[in-house]
């Protein structure tokens, strides 16, 4: 079975072909970084137009890389939300058109659920597991019980984590995209130089908050004079974020212990950060719980995770109607 997955919910136009036995035959990602760099962040209308221009080329390349023809595709899966709605409509409509033209099933994929299940594409990972989802627009902890069953135990009460990385990079004058820049610049800074807050870290709940941390970085950034000051502030910010994640995942492991999670899994764009991965691995080792992180190229947005959720949903008999309406907001499991 060859499942085509299409992703276009933010600033990556992506398509991939994945089989039910976990082979990734192709995984093409066109990043819109150059289109948005000029503006210092993702501009929804610019993103939608770029998706429209590139989607057919990206799908064509995914077929070529897999040495397949459109007539070989068995299922068309497309992100139908949540995300920037102009882009979501482009990818969802393309996937529906493939389904209609080739007379094959269509599967509407929730982008967050695709991140949540992506680790099962490359690992033997049984339900239930504890998931820390850290992306550009979301930060949440949940138990994943099945393809369509999620129990959220904590989420951000204000800003998202990836957005905080992007904002801090901008504040420090390094532009977009922020996450990878912060990771790189942190290597040259002293992470103990600035004392930054770790919001909600004395609380029992698994909720997150990043607004106060961002404000503290903004205030400190105004006083930075040298590049070394900025590197130290950057490293101190990343350290604060990591401390927050470590505190919250520890708390989640305590809370969910009696539900016997098979592992703690991290996914989403921020999971590409090696310092984040190392710290989470360390805390899971201490707690005696298996730690799983997808390969880095499957953490940031990609078509393979969409195709894989297509496989999982196909196996569970969960198909979608072609009248499925794309959703800018779409909580997991609904
Ligand atoms: O999952 P993703 O690709 O898109 C969304 O679903 O939002 O996540 C994108 C986010 C961006 O905010 C980006 O700055 C962050 O992930 N990110 C990183 C790294 N790579 C991407 N954050 C920290 N370190 C990284 N290496
Ligand atoms: Zn994403």
3-state helix, strand, coil in the chain (%, to 5): 45, 20, 35
* 101 burial type by CB count under 10 A (0-12 exposed, 13-18 middle, 19+ buried): exposed
pLDDT value at position 40? 86
Q: Helix or strand or coil: residue 100? A: helix
| Beta-sheet strand order (sheet of 264-267) | 149-155, 139-146, 129-134, 264-267, 291-292
> Which residues sit with their C-beta closer than 6 Å to ligand 1?
10, 135-137, 162-163, 165-166, 177-180, 182-183, 268-270, 272-273, 300-301
Per-residue tens of pLDDT for the chain, all 334 residues:
999 999 999 999 999 999 999 999 999 999 999 999 888 889 999 999 999 999 999 999 999 999 999 999 999 999 999 999 999 999 999 999 999 999 999 999 999 999 999 999 999 999 999 999 999 999 999 999 999 999 999 999 999 999 999 999 999 999 888 999 999 999 999 999 999 999 999 889 999 999 999 999 999 999 999 999 999 999 999 999 999 999 999 999 999 989 999 999 999 999 999 999 999 999 999 999 999 999 999 999 999 999 999 999 999 999 999 999 999 999 999 9
Single pTM value for the model: 0.97
How do strand 12-19 and strand 24-31 relate by DSSP bridges? antiparallel
325 vs 88, 89, 174, CA distance in Å? 10, 9, 38
- Best CATH choice for the domain 126-293 from the list 3.40.50.1220, 2.40.128.260, 3.20.20.70, 3.30.420.40: 3.30.420.40
Nearest to 44, CA basis, from 135, 133, 137:
137
What's 2-117+298-315's CATH class?
alpha beta
Q: For residues 15 and 7, what is the distance between their CA atoms, to the nearest angstrom? A: 6
Q: Whose CA is nearest to atom 3 of ligand 1?
A: 300
Q: For residues 51 and 54, what is the distance between their CA atoms, to the nearest angstrom? A: 5
Q: Whose CA is nearest to atom 5 of ligand 1?
A: 136
Q: Whose CA is nearest to atom 14 of ligand 1?
A: 179
Given a contact cutoff of 8 angstroms between Cβ atoms, the answer to whether 99 and 105 are in contact is yes
pLDDT value at position 203? 85
Q: Report domain extents, the chain.
A: 2-117+298-315, 126-293
Ligand 2 center to 164 CA (angstroms): 15
* Ligand (nearest to CA of 136): 1
pLDDT value at position 79? 98
Ligand 2 center to 109 CA (angstroms): 12
Domains 2-117+298-315 and 126-293 share a fold: yes
Q: Whose CA is nearest to atom 19 of ligand 1?
A: 179
Q: Whose CA is nearest to atom 4 of ligand 1?
A: 136
Ligand 1 center to 286 CA (angstroms): 26
Ligand 2 center to 32 CA (angstroms): 14
Q: Which of 7, 168, 171, 270 to mutate to test the pocket of ligand 1 (most atoms within 8 A of CB)?
A: 270
């Amino acid at each position: 079975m060859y499942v085509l997955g299409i992703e276009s919910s933010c600033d990556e136009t992506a398509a991939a072909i994945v089989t039910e036995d976990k082979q990734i035959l192709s995984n093409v990602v066109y990043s819109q970084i150059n289109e948005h760099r000029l503006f210092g962040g993702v501009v929804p209308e610019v993103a939608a137009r770029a998706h429209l221009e590139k989607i057919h080329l990206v799908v064509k390349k995914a077929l070529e890389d897999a040495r397949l023809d459109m007539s070989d595709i068995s299922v068309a899966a497309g992100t139908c939300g949540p995300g920037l709605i102009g882009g979501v409509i482009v990818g969802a409509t393309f996937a529906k058109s493939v389904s209609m033209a080739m007379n094959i099933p269509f599967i509407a994929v929730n982008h967050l659920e695709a991140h949540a299940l992506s680790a099962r594409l490359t690992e033997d990972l049984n339900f239930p597991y504890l998931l820390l989802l850290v992306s550009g627009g979301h930060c949440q902890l949940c138990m994943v019980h099945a393809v369509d069953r999620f129990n959220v135990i904590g989420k951000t009460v204000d800003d998202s984590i990836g957005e905080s990385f992007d904002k801090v990079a901008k504040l420090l004058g390094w532009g977009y995209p922020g996450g990878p820049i912060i990771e790189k610049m942190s290597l040259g800074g002293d992470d103990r130089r600035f004392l930054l807050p770790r919001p909600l870290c004395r609380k029992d709940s698994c909720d997150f908050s990043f607004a106060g941390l961002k404000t503290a970085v903004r205030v400190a950034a105004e006083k930075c004079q040298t590049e070394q000051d900025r590197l130290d502030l950057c490293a101190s910010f990343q350290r604060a974020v990591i401390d927050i994640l470590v505190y919250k995942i520890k708390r989640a492991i305590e809370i969910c212990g009696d539900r016997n999670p098979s592992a703690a899994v991290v996914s989403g764009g921020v999971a590409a950060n090696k310092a984040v991965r190392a710290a989470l691995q360390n805390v899971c080792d201490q707690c005696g719980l298996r730690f799983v992180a997808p390969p880095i190229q499957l953490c940031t947005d990609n078509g393979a995770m969409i195709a894989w959720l297509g496989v999982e949903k196909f196996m569970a008999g969960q198909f979608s109607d072609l009248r499925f309406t794309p959703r800018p907001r779409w909580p997991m499991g609904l």
